Structure 1
Amino acid sequence: MSAVVMHLLVYLPLFFPLPAALAARPLADRLEPRLATWLLTASALALAGLSCAALGVVAAAGVVRLPLAAWAGNWSAATVRAGDPVSVIEALAASVVLAAAVWAGARMLWRRMRALAAAAFEAACLPGHRQLVVVDDAPDAYALPGLPGRVVVSTGMLDALDPADREAMLAHERAHLSCHHYAFVAAAHLAAALNPLLRPVATAVAYTVERWADERAAAACGNRRQVARAVGKAALATAHHPARRRLPDAVLGLLGRRNPLATAGPVPRRVAALLAEPAASSTPLSVPLLPLAGAAAVVGSSALCAFAAAHDLHLLLKLAST
C-alpha cells in the first residue's frame, strides 16, 4: 500500500464516530430500546477505542524516527524517515491528543467508579433490608446501584401518584437495577470522554435506558398508558420541587439521570413512545438488519483503516531492519 494511502487511512478512524453521532437519535427513537442500548453502547466503545488506536499509530510513526528508537529497535532511522509519510509535527499533535483522550477517559472512569461506590455506600446505609425504601422528602424516585441495589421513593412522590401509578413507577425503578442500566450509561460516557464526537451517542444511551425501563414497566403492569401516565404525573409533581441534595452520578430515576452531560430524553418523547404501538421485539426473526449492518460497516471500516495503517508501519520497520 502506498505511503499516501497509509497517511489517509490512519486519520479516518478519528472521524468515523461522526456517522454514529448523527444516527444516534434516530436509532434511539426507532429501535426497540434494549437493542438500541446494546447497539449504541457497543458501537461507541469500539469507535472510541479504534480512534485512540489510530492516534497511537501516528504517535508511534513519530517515535520510530528518533535515533534512540532506531538504535533500540535495530533499524535504519534514515530508511524510516524516507518511507514514513507522517511528519514530526503530526506525530507530536497526535501524541498530545492521545494523552488528552487517555486522561479524559481515566478521569471519567475514576468518576464513575467513585459514583458507583458512593451509590453502593448510600444504599447500604439506608434503613431496613428491603429493596424499597420510603423517605420523607419532596417528590422523587430513583434507583441506587449496590449490593443489593435499593429503590428510593419519597413520601411526596407517593402522595402524587395513585396505587396504579405507584406500581408502574416501582417497576420502572426495579428495571434500572435488574438490567444494570448504570453500566451502559457509564460505558457510553467513557466512550464520549475518549472521543468527544461520541457525546450524542452517550446522550442517546441515557434516553434508551429510560425507554428500556419504561417498556419493562409496561410489561410488568400490562398497561402502557398507565406507565405513560405515571411518567407524566411524576414530571408534574417534581416541576416545582427541585432535588434538595446531589445524588451520585450512578443514580437512575423515573425522570432520567441528573448528570447534565447525558440527561434522559425529554419526557414527552417517552410518553409519546409509550402511547404509540410498541417497537418490534428483539427476537432473532425480528431484529432490524439495516441498523446492525450499518453499525457493523462503520465499526468494521474504522477497524480496517486502523489495522491497515498499523500493518504498513510494521512493514516499514521490517524493511528498515534489513
Structure 2
Amino acid sequence: MHITVYLLLLASVVLALLGPQLGRRLAPAAAVRALTLLSVIAATAMVWGMTAVTVGGLGRTDAFQDQAHSSPVALAQDDPVPNVLGALAAGLLAVSLLRALTVLRRRRSALRELAPLRKRPAAGDLVVIEAERPDAYALPGRPQRVVVTSAMLRALPADEQAVLLAHERAHLRHRHHLYAAVAETAAACNPLLRPVRDLIAFHIERWADEEAARTTGSRLLAARSLARAALAIADAARARGTQGVLAYLRHRVTARVGALQAERPTSHWGAVSPAVAVTALTGVAFAEVTSDFARCLHVLHLF
C-alpha cells in the first residue's frame, strides 16, 4: 500500500487533536455539529485506512492466496505492506468494530429498559415519577417524553422548573441523543476521539442550557436553576452514602453555570480553518487509498 494510506491514518490523528480547539472557539450548537462531523471523518479515515492495510498486508498469506488464486509476486509489487503490519491492522480493526457494535447494543438496551415510561400517564410530554432521588432526563423516540422525579420538582421553585423542562425539551427538539450516539460510536472506532466525545457531551448540555435561557428569557435564572438542581442531586447522593457526587462533577456543572452568567457565546469561525484544511487533505488521501485498494482487490481477483 502506498504511503498515502499512512497519511490517511495520520490525518485521523490530527483531526482528533484539533477537536479541543474547535470546542473552545465555537458556540455550543456549532461546536456539537462541527465536532460530530469531525469525529465521523476521523473515525472513517481510521477504519478505512486499517482496512486497506489489513488487505494489503494479509493478501500474500497462504490462507488468503488459497481463496484468491492470485500472484503473491504481483501483489508484492503493487502493494508492499509487511505481513506483520497487516496482521496488526486486522487486530485493531476487529477490536474497533467490536467496540462500536457494543456501544450501539448498549445504547439500544438502555432505551429498551426505559420504554415502559412512554406508557405512563403524561401531561403533554411530561412524565412525573414518584422518587426520592432528584433526577430529570429526556427520553427520545415515539412518543418523546421528558421524565422528572417528584424530588426534583420539590427541589426547584416554579420558575426554575420551567428552565429544567426547557432544557430537556431542547434535547428532544434538536435530537441530541443522535449526536451523542455518533460521537460515542466514533470514539469506539478511534480511541483518540474520546476527548472529542467528552467535549461533544459537554457542549450538548451547554446547547440545551442556552436554549433554556433563551426560552425563559433569563440567563441568570437558567444558571440558578442548574446550580440548585445539581446541589439537590449532590445532597441526595451524600444522604445515601453513594458516589453520585462524582457524576455531578463529571457533568462540569460549575463551568456551565459560569458560562450562563457570562454573555451568550458566539462562534469564531477562523478556528475552523485548520480543521477544514486537514479535512480536505483527508478527502484527497481517502480517494487515493480507495483507488489503490480497488487495484489491490483486482490483483487478488476479489473485485
TM class by smaller structure: 0.7 to 0.9
CA contact 2:16–2:192 (8 Å) conserved in 1: yes
Q: Does 2:214 match 1:228?
A: no
Q: Report what 1:32 is aligned to.
A: 27
CA distance, structure 2, for counterparts of residue 96 and residue 162 of structure 1: 55
- CA offsets per residue over residues 24-81 of structure 1, 9 Å max, x none? 3343343111111111111101210111100011111124324675676665321222
Structure 2: runs of 5 or more not aligned: none
Q: Report what 1:301 is aligned to.
A: 281
Q: Report what 2:170 is aligned to.
A: 175
CA distance, structure 1, for counterparts of residue 182 and residue 236 of structure 2: 31
Match of 2:120 among 122, 126, 133: 126
Q: Report what 1:11 is aligned to.
A: 6
The Cα shift of 1:259 comes to: 11
Q: Which shifted more, 215-224 or 75-84?
A: 75-84
Q: Report what 2:129 is aligned to.
A: 135
Decide whether aligned partners of structure 1 residues 225 and 210 sit closer, same or farther in structure 2, where only a CA change above 3 A counts: same
CA contact 2:11–2:45 (8 Å) conserved in 1: no
Decide whether aligned partners of structure 1 residues 170 and 317 sit closer, same or farther in structure 2, where only a CA change above 3 A counts: closer
Larger helix percent: 2
The Cα shift of 1:315 comes to: 4.7
Q: Report what 2:53 is aligned to.
A: 58
- CA offsets per residue over residues 182-218 of structure 1, 9 Å max, x none? 1110110000000100001110110111011011111
Match of 2:263 among 259, 273, 277: 277
Q: What one-letter code is carried by the residue in structure 2 that aligns with 1:24? A: G
Decide whether aligned partners of structure 1 residues 259 and 11 sit closer, same or farther in structure 2, where only a CA change above 3 A counts: farther
The Cα shift of 1:109 comes to: 1.4
CA distance, structure 2, for counterparts of residue 319 and residue 110 of structure 1: 37
CA distance, structure 2, for counterparts of residue 219 and residue 226 of structure 1: 11
Q: Does 2:271 match 1:291?
A: yes
Decide whether aligned partners of structure 1 residues 48 and 156 sit closer, same or farther in structure 2, where only a CA change above 3 A counts: same
CA contact 1:59–1:92 (8 Å) conserved in 2: yes
The Cα shift of 1:291 comes to: 3.4
Identity %: 34
The Cα shift of 1:319 comes to: 7.8
Indicate the SS of the match to 2:212. helix
Q: Report what 1:247 is aligned to.
A: none
CA contact 1:157–1:237 (8 Å) conserved in 2: yes
Q: Does 2:87 match 1:89?
A: no
CA contact 2:68–2:300 (8 Å) conserved in 1: no
Q: Does 2:219 match 1:219?
A: no
The Cα shift of 1:305 comes to: 2.5
Q: What one-letter code is carried by the residue in structure 2 that aligns with 1:79? A: A
Indicate the SS of the match to 1:242. helix
CA distance, structure 2, for counterparts of residue 38 and residue 225 of structure 1: 26
CA distance, structure 2, for counterparts of residue 317 and residue 179 of structure 1: 42
CA contact 2:223–2:261 (8 Å) conserved in 1: yes
Indicate the SS of the match to 1:143. strand
Q: Report what 2:93 is aligned to.
A: 98
- CA offsets per residue over residues 68-126 of structure 1, 9 Å max, x none? 7567666532122244321111111111111111111111111122223333x133232
Decide whether aligned partners of structure 1 residues 297 and 117 sit closer, same or farther in structure 2, where only a CA change above 3 A counts: farther
CA distance, structure 2, for counterparts of residue 309 and residue 243 of structure 1: 55
CA distance, structure 2, for counterparts of residue 95 and residue 289 of structure 1: 38
Q: What one-letter code is carried by the residue in structure 2 that aligns with 1:10? A: V
Indicate the SS of the match to 2:237. coil
